[in-house]
Structure 1
Amino acid sequence: MRLGIVSPVVTRVPGAHAEWERSAGIEELARIARTADGLGFHHLTCSEHVAVPADVAEQRGGTYWDPLATLGHLAAHTERIRLATQVLVLGYHHPLEIAKRYGTLDRVSGGRLVLGLGVGSLAEEFALLDAPFEGRGARADDALAALRASLSRREPEYHGAFYDFEGFVVDPHAVQPQVPLWIGGRTARSLRRAVEYGDGWVPFGLPVDRLAEMLAAAELPENFDVVLSAGRTDPSGDPEATGRALRRVREAGATVVSTAIDARSATHYCEQLEALWALAGKTD
């Protein structure tokens, strides 16, 4: 079981972030990333929203750091930890735009990119960006197929229902022969999409029992990543509850566990990372 973290600071969803994160910046985040990297954590995350309507921000939050700029900076402060977008909204980008920008991130990070990708659900943001909202599932499927054909290739070629291109050079591009694609979602369709087009599934907003049922009913490919959240944990303050949370998602089928961490400061967060890492070793 590999262990990753839901990065603090980069998002502020009401009720899901600590007070210290309001005044924290890239220095604190880089310190946390270096600690996680040194311990051996699998990945850290950064999600994507371009602009959230003010009324929606009251529920979803309005602070979302740009993943490309954020992960590019953290790449320079780390050596091993994977840099995961969780998630990019496929409908906001042309596949070659993702291939070029995030392929460059893969290059500068030495092949540590994980592309977490999703269909998206915020209609107002789609409209703002002039991106089609209706039919976004079929368009996302085509975008995933186009990405699979394009990442790591200097002269990609793809001919699909929504995306059609050849005769273009994308350089630099990803250095990994196959960049891991983790597909986000909370439906059976998202799991099928992940199995068909991706290398892993990153569900959200579902109880663990339901996740276990969905995974048990699915035929998963070999080496397929199931990235489940252990929720918010307090490794040093409540190690027993944290251990139970880790075991529960592992038993549900997780191959990678991603967790948010309660902390009072960046310093305390790093201490919590050390406690979590030690606890995860005992849980295994």
Structure 2
Amino acid sequence: MSSLRLGLTSPIVTRLPGVAGGWEASAGIAELADIAVAAEELGFEYLTCSEHVAVPTGVAAQRGGTYWDPLSTFGFLAARTRRIRFVTQVLVLGYHHPLEIAKRYGTLDTISGGRLTLGVGVGSLREEFELLGAEFAGRGALADDALRALRASLSVPEPAYEGSAYRYGGMLVEPHAVQPHVPIWVGGRTRRSLRRAVELGDGWVPFGLGRGQLAEMLDSVSPPDDFEVVLPAGPLDPTDEQATAAVLEKTRRAGATIIGVTIRADSAGDHVDKLRRLADLAGLKPTGER
């Protein structure tokens, strides 16, 4: 198999029913840090952490109820790693003012040495919007304006923006992101999310779509050459090399520029062992060889 680009959907921090292993319920930051260090050394490109403030109990059976806060999680992991990137997959735009994101995640970008990728989404959990006093209706248009505001604000000390929902200027935001251009990946499963990603972001992270539907949607747009299409694969058991290789190749052919993998494991140690097998199978270059 030719060399692939792989990112890691972090275990432990988000526990989805039917996907998360039983061991994850008793694992903590120490186990996650060991996995992060191994993933970095093996050549995986990123780790993920998603955002939910509170999930209704009736929804948790389907979506899961465990969601670690990405800012504090990545802040800890930034001190244990040097190269691997941190992807918020996803941060719900309607829950935050753009300058709140620029300050908090700009600080993360600073302390991590420029390793932030903002994965963002419109959000779909009405109860959570209402809990936080955020507007559910019209959230798509609000997200578009927030994205424009973020692009104008993330990497400058004195951001200024005049949009349909957000207007500000004459304010100092320090620290701010050290990357001149923080990558923004848009999550979603609709054509509008793809258009939003192409027009206002740097990548698209779809979910819940068949390969044929993905191909049709991607054929309908003309993204720039450096646009990322981040497709999921897994849960994978890399001990079954033939099946794993087939899934990765199928995902690559569906249009992925980066594949976000989920590993099926029995413990943190088993997860690291399987990361090693997957890295070898995919032809990843260890960080010391770059």
TM-score bracket for the superposition, by shorter chain length: over 0.9
Q: What SS does structure 2 have at the residue aligned with 1:101?
A: helix
**Mapping 1:26-175, distance limit 5 Å:** 26-175=29-178
Greater Cα offset, 8-17 or 131-140: 8-17
Q: What SS does structure 2 have at the residue aligned with 1:148?
A: helix
Structure 1: runs of 5 or more not aligned = none
Could you state the TM-score of these two structures normalised by the residue count of structure 1?
A: 0.98
The one of 231, 234, 237 aligned to 1:228: 231
Percent identity of equivalent pairs: 65
What letter corresponds to residue 260 of structure 2 in structure 1?
A: S
Query: Equivalents in 2 of 1:35, 1:99: separation in Å?
Result: 29
Could you state the TM-score of these two structures normalised by the residue count of structure 2?
A: 0.96
Tell me the equivalent position of 2:271.
269
Give yes or no for the alignment of 1:22 onto 2:25.
yes
Give yes or no for the alignment of 1:199 onto 2:202.
yes
Deviations 1:65-93 (A, max 9, x none): 00000011111111110000000000000
Query: Equivalents in 1 of 2:174, 2:235: separation in Å?
Result: 40
Greater Cα offset, 208-217 or 5-14: 208-217
Q: How far off is 1:213 after superposition?
A: 1.7
Over aligned residue pairs, what C-alpha RMSD do you find?
0.8
Give yes or no for the alignment of 1:248 onto 2:250.
yes
Deviations 1:176-229 (A, max 9, x none): 000000000000110000000000000011112211221122211120000001
What letter corresponds to residue 18 of structure 1 in structure 2?
A: G
Tell me the equivalent position of 1:239.
241
Q: How far off is 1:111 after superposition?
A: 0.3
Query: Equivalents in 2 of 1:224, 1:89: separation in Å?
Result: 21
Tell me the equivalent position of 1:260.
262
Q: Tell me which stretches of 4 or more aligned residues in structure 1 moved more than 2 Å.
A: none
Give yes or no for the alignment of 1:219 onto 2:222.
yes
The one of 178, 183, 187 aligned to 2:181: 178
Q: How far off is 1:276 after superposition?
A: 0.5
What letter corresponds to residue 17 of structure 2 in structure 1?
A: P
Query: Equivalents in 2 of 1:87, 1:11: separation in Å?
Result: 11
Deviations 1:82-129 (A, max 9, x none): 000000000000000000000000000000000000000000000000
What letter corresponds to residue 213 of structure 2 in structure 1?
A: R
Q: How far off is 1:231 after superposition?
A: 2.1
What letter corresponds to residue 251 of structure 1 in structure 2?
A: R
Q: What SS does structure 2 have at the residue aligned with 1:91?
A: helix
The one of 10, 13, 16 aligned to 1:10: 13
What letter corresponds to residue 243 of structure 1 in structure 2?
A: A
Q: How far off is 1:58 after superposition?
A: 1.4
Structure 2: runs of 5 or more not aligned = 285-290
What letter corresponds to residue 72 of structure 2 in structure 1?
A: A
Query: Equivalents in 2 of 1:212, 1:9: separation in Å?
Result: 31
Query: Equivalents in 1 of 2:219, 2:208: separation in Å?
Result: 18
Q: What SS does structure 2 have at the residue aligned with 1:64?
A: coil
Tell me the equivalent position of 2:288.
none
The one of 270, 281, 284 aligned to 2:283: 281
Query: Equivalents in 1 of 2:39, 2:187: separation in Å?
Result: 23
Q: What SS does structure 2 have at the residue aligned with 1:8?
A: coil
Deviations 1:231-281 (A, max 9, x none): 210012x11111011111111111110010010100000000000101111
Q: How far off is 1:145 after superposition?
A: 0.2
The size of the alignment, in residue pairs, is 281
